[in-house]
A and B are shown apart, each in its own frame.
Chain A
Amino acid sequence: MTHHSRFIISVLSFGYAFLYIPLLLVVIYSFNDSAIATVWGGFSTRWYGELLQNDLILDAAFLSLRIAVTSATAATILGTMAGLVLARFGRFKGRTLFSGMIFSPMIMPEVITGLSLLLFFVTLQQLTGWPGQRGFSTIAIAHTTFAMAYVAVIVQSRLMAMDESLEEAAMDLGGRPLRVVFDITLPLIAPAMIAGWLLSFTLSLDDLVIASFVSGPGSTTLPMYIFSKVKLGVSPDINALASMIIAAVSVGVAIAWLVSRRIARTSSNT
């Protein structure tokens, strides 16, 4: 029914080209045989091979994955509670501060969050002796803190869109509030929780600045490793790494999209 003006179509094309051409070029150059990343030296997959033999990258990737799984899980639990509180608990003492604290980590510049958490950990260590070594646990805590904000927002908006009468009906049928949460509310917000977990996972894998602040010697996450290499300029094995990430994300998102479309189609048919 709608037809776009030429202006809109050209801006859309330009915008999507702007977003995707850089990524496309990284993928193309990851198959470049030449060690000088900007000169084309023929097709090759050697950088992928080298990537898989680089222990530093593999270690960093493993650490990042562990942190991402841990912090995403913790953030999903805490964020779901926070989302429930914001959407369903009405007014309570300290609500303004609560919602303020939930949303702030999302927009706070990373340098500030990182610096404040590091100084906090240092002070805590002085006072209590913990954390003796900064690394896995401090990064996981930092990531949990800002990722739970995203989970809370996703869960809250899902709950807002959801009909409260479903829960009321369950209570009307004799369910106790807590049972209702487990029987009705949680299954209904499960998609939001999964989305929140995935987002937290990605945010954690993605984070460089905060991790740089709160990590200690010996714990290098994948972004930290990449940054140390990229600082020196374009490098072909990073192209290969980037391509693998782009491929993994694209496949994952495409599957998620197809599945959600099928669900939407079957539910609209009934």
Chain B
Amino acid sequence: MSLATQQQDEMWRRVAIVAPYLWLLVFFLAPFAIIFKISLADPIIAQPPFTPTFDETGSLKASVDSFTFILTDKFYAITYMRSVLMAAAATIMCLALGFPMAYGIARSNPSTRSLLLLLIVLPFWISFLLRVYAWMGLMNNYGVINNFLMWLGAIDEPIQMMYTDFAVLIGLAYSYLPFMILPLYASLERMDLDLVDAAQDLGASRSRAFWDITWPLAKPGIIAGCLLVLIPAMGEYVIPYLLGGPESLLIGRVLFDEFFVNRDWPLASAVAIILLLLLVVPIVLLQRHQARDQEEAV
């Protein structure tokens, strides 16, 4: 191989690294730096509506007013708390429904398995917004569920489901269920079924064998699935907006409104930074987890 072609190869290798790297630095990392910068500014009525980081004399002008405001106003603490609780509740719902489903899929025979799996993935390809919208028609006061229950005679007047926390929970669980099932399925499917037989052979009952063997070995999938539901659910905007009540705010909606309605850019940025801080632990957990998973796969 000639030196020239070797150099050419080396050049292409570099392009393959640098192009995506640069793109992410500019369009992913730099924007985070800017959020951070603006969260330290003060809002003013101007275009853009925040004070510059350096004033005319060139000295640094950072203000933590937005952060103090968020940390002292009870409203934000409650909203963050509600977001965490809602996301956690949705995660538990997804796990409770998703685990037996993933188990059933992983243990069915190969031809049905691929069809069942396809039916889990299919909703991914249909608009998220429209899937949430579908529940509006179901949970309305005069929607399908209420009409059906009234026709049955189970209730006399409609139950208020829309614009409640219940509706938001259903919406979250519905939208994120596939995110739970897929990693669970992956870890259950690669489990050696002989292990469960071996446990039973050694004296464990069916349920004992499940808790001794299946559950701990599915743990990687459980952790990944829970984090994949929990993290995006914390910042969810569309579901609480369409299905939730006006007084039960979640943090994603607050961020959106601070920005677009109140035009307080520094405050919106500060809200985002604090949300990000809340998410750092689960995100790092998930990434470390996936890195380990990949190493094991090699």
Task: Tell me the A residues contacting B by CB distance below 8 Å.
Answer: 1-2, 4, 7-9, 11-12, 14-16, 18-23, 25-26, 29, 37-39, 78-79, 81-82, 84-85, 89, 92, 94, 98-105, 107-112, 115-117, 119-120, 122-123, 126, 141-142, 144-145, 148, 152, 156, 160, 176-178, 181, 202, 205-206, 208-209, 213, 223, 226-227, 230-231, 233-234, 238-239, 241-242, 245-246, 249-250, 252-253, 257, 261
Contacts and interface: CB of A to CB of B under 8 A. Distances in A.
B38 to A, nearest CB: 6
Contacts of B16: 81, 84-85, 89
Contacts of A79: 20
Given A8-B103, A12-B104, A231-B242, A238 B133 contact: yes
Instruction: Tell me the dominant secondary structure on chain B's binding face.
Output: helix
Contacts of A144: 23, 27
Q: Tell which of A105, A116, A152 has the most Cβ of chain B within 10 Å.
A: A116
Given A126-B48, A245-B130, A112 B235 contact: yes
23 contacts: A2-B108, A18-B174, A22-B135, A22-B137, A38-B147, A98-B21, A98-B24, A103-B290, A107-B232, A109-B236, A110-B235, A112-B235, A119-B34, A119-B38, A145-B28, A178-B8, A202-B124, A206-B128, A209-B256, A230-B136, A234-B136, A246-B126, A257-B118
Contacts of A112: 35, 235, 255, 272, 275-276
B31 A234 contact: no
B298 interface: yes
A106 B34 CA distance: 20
A39 B142 contact: yes
A209 B238 CA distance: 8
Contacts of A249: 122, 125-126
A35 to B, nearest CB: 14
Interface stretch (B63-71, B149-157, B279-287): B279-287
Nearest to A174: B1
Interface in B111-131: 114-116, 118-120, 122-131
B252 A29 contact: no
B195 interface: no
A250 B231 contact: no
Interface of B: 1, 5, 8-9, 12-13, 15-17, 19-21, 23-25, 27-32, 34-35, 38, 48, 97-98, 100-101, 103-105, 107-109, 114-116, 118-120, 122-131, 133-138, 140, 142-144, 147, 174, 177, 227-228, 231-232, 234-238, 241-242, 252, 255-256, 259, 265, 268-269, 272, 275-276, 279, 283, 286-287, 290-291, 294, 297-298
Contact of B48 (A38, A122, A230): A122
Given A4-B104, A115-B255, A119-B34, A234 B275 contact: no
B137 A234 contact: yes
A94 B97 contact: no
B275 A109 contact: yes
A223 B127 contact: yes
Given A85-B16, A160-B298, A227-B129, A22 B35 contact: no
Contacts of A82: 20
A170 B242 CA distance: 55
B177 A19 contact: yes
Contact of B133 (A20, A242, A252): A242
Contacts of A26: 130, 133-134, 137
A239 B5 CA distance: 58
A231 to B, nearest CB: 7
B136 A100 contact: no
Given A38-B142, A226-B130, 19 more contacts: A2-B108, A12-B116, A15-B98, A25-B138, A38-B143, A78-B23, A81-B15, A89-B13, A89-B17, A92-B17, A101-B21, A101-B29, A109-B234, A112-B272, A116-B31, A178-B8, A223-B129, A238-B133, A249-B122
Contacts of B116: 12
Contacts of B31: 116-117, 119-120
A2 B134 contact: no
B23 A145 contact: yes
Given A19-B174, A120-B30, A253 B125 contact: yes
Closest 3 CB pairs of A and B: A109-B235, A116-B31, A22-B134
Contacts of B28: 101, 104-105, 145
Nearest to B265: A119
Given A2-B108, A25-B134, A176-B1, A111 B252 contact: yes
Contacts of B228: 107
A249 B127 CA distance: 10
Nearest to B113: A2
Contact of B134 (A23, A89, A92): A23
Contacts of B291: 99
Contacts of B9: 176-178
B35 A115 contact: yes
A85 to B, nearest CB: 5
Given A4-B104, A208-B238, A94 B1 contact: no
Contacts of A238: 130, 133
